């Protein structure tokens, strides 16, 4: 019988998860705005920064995820990582063309500042991905079971929106006043406190023990043709995650600039408050629906809502229509992302949870954050839409980014349909011809010796897991 998730685990998921998303909100949205307002308006600079951040974050997930497998610990990587993550976030406030010019007077101030901000962002992304995307996400997979992952991922998927609400509501006046240094120091301090709290809230799974082996081999094992044949759900869910991620990254890095400067909506904070608050509620409720109707079954309807919202956003111009379109976009995105992420957890090999976080980052972060912003920047440059500010002509995002995002999102239909046909039916156990299910274990374990963190007393054989709600 499935055991309810302990209150301590829920506190860790909510508080540590939320703190991490506050930092990612700064990195994904406000850092772009910071660069736009204080350094350069070039969409290419923002796209380059996002791409470097994605590559660095993916590398960190590979290294830290596999490392946490080998030592059989997640807590120390989360707690220490969050503290260092906070300290690196504080460093953003020191970067400006003027400060950089003092350090490197022989270089162009703007170009040098762009390089410095990219380097600082890379350091911050490495620390954040190691602590959050690798260690924290592996711990969530360790702690949850097939029957409650829809609810847990529903909560986790709304964390970015809740974090944006908190940041916009409490700290947006600081950015509007140009007090960026204090803004970054305050966010960094929140991360340090979260790291200390994680030490007391996060408890490593009791049946997780250190193992030896090659982390690269552990990751690649899940892509071996024989493994894919037995467990198609992992690869198909990762591909679905990548397509939806690319779609979101076409518009997301530029959406705050779009609302504030293209549409010139002065009450953009109100837009964000209503959209983020409303869609966060939908996301939490949607997680329960996902567990009830089945993860794969919920994907297509949620994706359809997301695509419709993107098309509505492309034609919305005034305050109320933008709020309505935004609610549809983010509600569909949250529910579809929660369903896909929970499916990835269901099909993650139980003996390679940490190592698979690197593979997950390739599909969830690296590919989307390299391709998506570049596609968005190309659409913006092609439209060549500008506005004049104090005599300076600045380029702004066009509505075409939402149309391009919708076109990309439609492509996710293909892997979702494949998931419906194959993903819920892992192959038979080697040598037995039958499948065995146990709540909390993920799909398709390789019969070879474990190369990642191993669960005590688990049989060395492939275990097929079927979502009971499907």
The CATH number covering residue 259 comes to: 1.20.1250.20
Q: Which of 189, 185, 325 is nearest to 251 (CA)?
A: 325
Element of type H or E holding 208:
strand 208-209
Is residue 460 included in any domain, yes or no? no
Is residue 462 included in any domain, yes or no? no
pLDDT score of 215: 58
pLDDT score of 415: 95
Answer for the pair 20, 198: CB distance below 8 angstroms, yes or no: no
Largest Cα separation within the chain, whole Å, is 75
**Cα–Cα distance between 165 and 350 in angstroms, integer?**
35
pLDDT score of 100: 55
Is the Cα torsion angle 326, 186, 153, 447 positive or negative in sign?
A: positive
pLDDT score of 446: 35
pLDDT score of 331: 93
| Burial environment of residue 449 by CB neighbours within 10 A (0 to 12, 13 to 18, 19 or more) | exposed
Pairing of strands 392-395, 454-455: unpaired
Single pTM value for the model: 0.70
Is residue 370 included in any domain, yes or no? yes
pLDDT score of 272: 80
pLDDT score of 28: 73
pLDDT score of 108: 58
Element of type H or E holding 209:
strand 208-209
Is residue 416 included in any domain, yes or no? yes
Q: 3-class SS at 455?
A: strand
Instruction: With both helix axes pointing from N to C terminus, report the angle between 149-176 and 268-293 in degrees, rounded to the nearest 10.
Output: 170
Q: For 454, which DSSP code?
A: E
Domain range enclosing 43 = 7-455
Is residue 438 included in any domain, yes or no? yes
Q: What is the 3-state secondary structure (H, E, C) of 72-126?
A: CCCHHHHHHHHHHHHHHHHHHHHCCHHHHHHHCCCCCHHHHHHHHHHHHHHHHHH
Which two three-digit tokens encode residue 46? 């923002």
Is residue 465 included in any domain, yes or no? no
Is residue 464 included in any domain, yes or no? no
Which two three-digit tokens encode residue 380? 């913006």
Q: In 339-403, at which residue ranges do the beta strands (DSSP E only) sit?
A: 386-389, 392-395
Is residue 463 included in any domain, yes or no? no
Count of domains forming the chain: 1
Angle at 172 between CA 178 and CA 370, to 5 degrees: 90
pLDDT score of 133: 87
pLDDT score of 223: 65
Residues of the chain with confidence (pLDDT) below 50: 1, 424-470
Answer for the pair 444, 227: CB distance below 8 angstroms, yes or no: yes
């Amino acid at each position: 019988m499935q055991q309810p998730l302990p209150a301590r685990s829920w506190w860790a998921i909510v508080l540590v998860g939320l703190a991490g998303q506050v930092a990612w909100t700064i990195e994904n949205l406000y850092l772009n705005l910071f660069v736009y307002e204080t350094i350069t308006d070039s969409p290419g600079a923002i796209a380059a920064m996002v791409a470097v951040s994605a590559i660095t974050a993916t590398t960190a997930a590979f290294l830290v995820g596999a490392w946490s497998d080998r030592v059989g610990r997640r807590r120390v990587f989360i707690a220490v990582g969050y503290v260092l993550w906070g300290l690196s976030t504080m460093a953003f406030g020191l970067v400006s063309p003027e400060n950089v010019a003092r350090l490197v007077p022989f270089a162009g101030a703007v170009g040098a500042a762009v390089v410095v901000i990219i380097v600082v962002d890379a350091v911050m992304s490495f620390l954040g991905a190691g602590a959050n995307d690798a260690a924290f996400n592996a711990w969530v997979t360790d702690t949850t079971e097939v029957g409650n992952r829809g609810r847990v991922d529903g909560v986790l998927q709304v964390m970015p929106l809740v974090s944006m609400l908190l940041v916009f509501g409490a700290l947006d006046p600081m950015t509007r006043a140009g007090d960026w240094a204090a803004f970054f120091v305050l966010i960094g301090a929140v991360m340090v406190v979260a790291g200390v709290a994680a030490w007391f809230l996060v408890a490593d799974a009791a049946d997780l023990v250190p193992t030896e082996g090659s982390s690269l081999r552990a990751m690649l094992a899940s892509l071996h043709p024989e493994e894919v044949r037995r467990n198609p759900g992992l690869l198909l869910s990762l591909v679905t995650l990548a397509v939806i991620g690319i779609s979101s990254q076409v518009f997301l890095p530029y959406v705050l600039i779009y609302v504030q400067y293209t549409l010139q909506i002065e009450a953009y904070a109100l837009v964000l408050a209503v959209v983020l608050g409303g869609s966060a509620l939908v996301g939490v409720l949607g997680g329960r629906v996902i567990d009830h109707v089945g993860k794969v079954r919920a994907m297509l309807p949620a994706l359809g809502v997301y695509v419709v919202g993107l098309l509505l956003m492309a034609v919305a111009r005034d305050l109320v229509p933008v709020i309505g379109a935004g609610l549809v976009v983010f509600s569909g995105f949250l529910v579809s992302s929660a369903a896909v992420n929970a499916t990835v957890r269901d099909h993650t090999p139980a003996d390679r949870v940490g190592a698979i976080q690197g593979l997950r980052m390739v599909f969830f972060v690296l590919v989307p954050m390299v391709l998506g912003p570049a596609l968005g920047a190309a659409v913006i440059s092609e439209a060549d839409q500008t506005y004049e500010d104090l005599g300076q002509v600045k380029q702004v995002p066009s509505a075409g980014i939402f149309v391009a995002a919708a076109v990309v999102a439609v492509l996710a239909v293909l892997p979702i349909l494949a998931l419906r046909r194959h993903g819920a039916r892992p192959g038979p156990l080697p040598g037995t011809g039958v499948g065995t299910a146990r709540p909390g274990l993920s799909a398709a374990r390789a019969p070879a010796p474990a190369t990642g963190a191993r669960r005590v007393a688990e049989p060395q054989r492939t275990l097929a897991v079927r979502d009971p709600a499907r």
